[in-house]
Every structure is written in structure tokens, then in C-alpha cells.
Structure 1
Amino acid sequence: ADPDADRLGWEGGYWYNESVAVDESDGLNDSELAAVVNRTMARVELIRGLEFEERVPVEVVLRSEFQRSQSGGTTPASVRRFDNAKFEALFMINESTESIGVQRTNSGVSVGGYYSPSQDRIVVVSDTETPTVDASTLAHELVHGLQDQQFDLSKVTSETRRGNNAVDGLVEGDANLVQYAFDRRCGAEWDCLGDGSGTTGASG
């Protein structure tokens, strides 16, 4: 039964251990996606011990569309030079390779989803024409949405690259820990979409 007031482990009409009526074989329609998101939010807040203040919008896009979005944009010359020097020093690229271009290409292939603090939404990348969602990836990105609601990620910044790396470590470490706990419960205690292994997330 639904609680009288919002509580940890319940979101949008779904308890964390409640079944959802979805058919993954033909992709997720809007109502099925909403049910999956609500239940995953309930599970994330139960693990993290923090309450969502509002629903996090989730959009599913095809990988081809995501890859096109990654190919645009410009990077200042100073940033390109710095990145090229850094990755050349690490023997990860040669002198004729643009590191930013390589990162964008890799991102287009490997990223399973991302949370955008500026847009307050999650984008999940689907590899099939019938949109699907990996539960583990969704859980990871929902943690970022929860972090933003509770701590305002736009204020968690640094003026130095080293400081930003430290911030990223805290933000991603928190999300990875929750994702790990989520994955361990999938199959053992909970039924989850996808294989539970997850794919790479990216900051938006």
C-alpha cells in the first residue's frame, strides 16, 4: 500500500521491492519508463539514505543520436594543447592525435547515460531502435540527480584542475558505491532490467 506521506524506499507510487509490469522485448513506452524510473529512484534513495525532493526527468536517446551530439562543439586552443601534452606524456596518444577528438569518439561508443546538472535531467543511451534502459546505469545517474537535489552540484566546484579532479572523485565515488550496492541486490533480492552490469556514465 502507498504511504500517507513520502518516505525512503517509495517514489511515484512504487516501493523499492515492488514489481513493475513492463515488456522489455519491444522496448519501453512512456508509462513503462516512468514506472522503472520511479522504482529505481525508490531503490537509490533507500541505499543512499537520502530522499529525492522531486522526480528526475529521464530521456532515452539512440546511440547514433548521442554520437552526433558528441561530434559538435569547440574546445579552446589552450585546453587542446594542455590535454594533448598530458596524454602524450602518458603515452596514450601520439603527437599527431587530438586527445579531445579521441575522448569524444570514445564517449560516443561507451557512455550509457549521463546526468546534466544544468538541465536537471538524465539522458540514457540505448543501443537499439526499441528504447531500453540498463537498470544499473539508470541507478548511477539517479544518484547524481539526488546529489544535485541535496547538495547542488553547481556549487561543488574548484578553480584548479586538481581540485576538480578531487570533486569528481567524491561525486563519482558516491555514485559508484551506490551502484555497486544496487548491482549486488539485482538478481539476489530485486528483479532489475538489463544484465545489472551497467555501462559507463558521463558528467553533463
Structure 2
Amino acid sequence: MKIGVIGATGKAGALIMAEAQSRGIDVEAIVRDHHRLSTPVPYLEKDVMSLITDDIEDLDVLVSAYGAPRGEGYRYPLVTQHLIDITKQTGIRLMVIGGAGSLFTNQHRTNRLFDEPGFPEAFKDTSTNMGEALKRLQASDGVDWTYISPAENFVFNAPKTGKYQLGADFLSFNADGRSEISYADYAIAFVDEIQNHQHRNEHISVVSV
């Protein structure tokens, strides 16, 4: 198996890449600046919007850990649509690191986390546009995709426990009533899905135990 990781120098992308490498998965980093890579890895230095199908034809899975600059959330739907276009009808799986803001908070699926009162205004641009990107995936045809949202509290400096719970596209909570997951455990869940391929064309979530 070979995977390509867009945004491999970011927090989540780097951990997913390292987790995949630890399992013997062949990994290629897809980055704008290879000098920012912290570990030796084969790489393709190219802007995400310049990628073409020929660039990824030897991949089994394309991982998008793309992160837009603050205030430029409009890029998420554009990038996602581009990735849909270059993976469509290729058999290459598209797996996207999502946001918690897109998770539903009621059983009727009318409210998402970013609709709730008190949702931080600073994150609304990013969250709502990631939600629009998700809609592009859900409306796509001929693409094998999975969109994985972390819990509400996505904690970078937290221990790797090796344990997690998968959920549907709803905000979920652990046994202590907290909606949280460490980046390290999220990476484990993400690579598990890469290997197991159990949630084709689904939006799922990850929370700690």
C-alpha cells in the first residue's frame, strides 16, 4: 500500500505520516516546501491546487491534511473539489481530516456544532467552510472518500493512549462526558481506517475512551 499525505508538515499530517510509516506503509509527503519536513521521507513538492492525476497515479490512498491560513477558509471547498476532480474514477481513495464543527448536535440533523450559541467566532470561517467542503464530498460521484472529524477538543500536547472510539457524524463524548481526542490517538484511528477501509463515503468521528 502507498499513501500520499497533503499537508505532511502540519500537526495532524505529520503524525498520520509517522503512524503510517511505523506500520510499514509506503508514504509520500506532498508539500509546498520539503525543507519543513522533520523526518526523511520521499516527497513531491507541489502546491495542492497544481496537483494532477498523473502526480498521484501510483497511490492507493490520498490523505488531505490541508490547512488553510486563518481568514482564508474559502480555500477548503476549492481544494476539496480539486481533489475530487483528480481522484474521480481512478480507484484512489480520498481521506480527509475534517473538523469537529461539522458534527451534528441533534438527532434531526438540523444543527451542527458551528451553529451552536457560543461557538468561537474566530473558528467560524474555518469550520463553516470545512462544512462546505464536506458537502462537496457528499455530492460527489465516482469518488471513494472518508471524512474523519476529531472530537470537539482536539488536543495536540496529550499522551498517546492507543485507544479511541469511532462515532458517526454526531458530536460524541467519552465516559467522562468530554468530547476530546489527542492528535496522536486521532492519527491511530485515521491510519486504522486507511488499512481497514470500513467507512466508504461516510463522515465519521473519533473521541477518546
TM-score under structure 1 length normalisation:
0.26
Which structure has more relative contact order (CA 8 Å, sep 6+)? It is 1
TM-score under structure 2 length normalisation:
0.26
Larger Rg, first or second structure (1 or 2): 1
Answer 1 or 2: which has greater strand percent.
Answer: 2
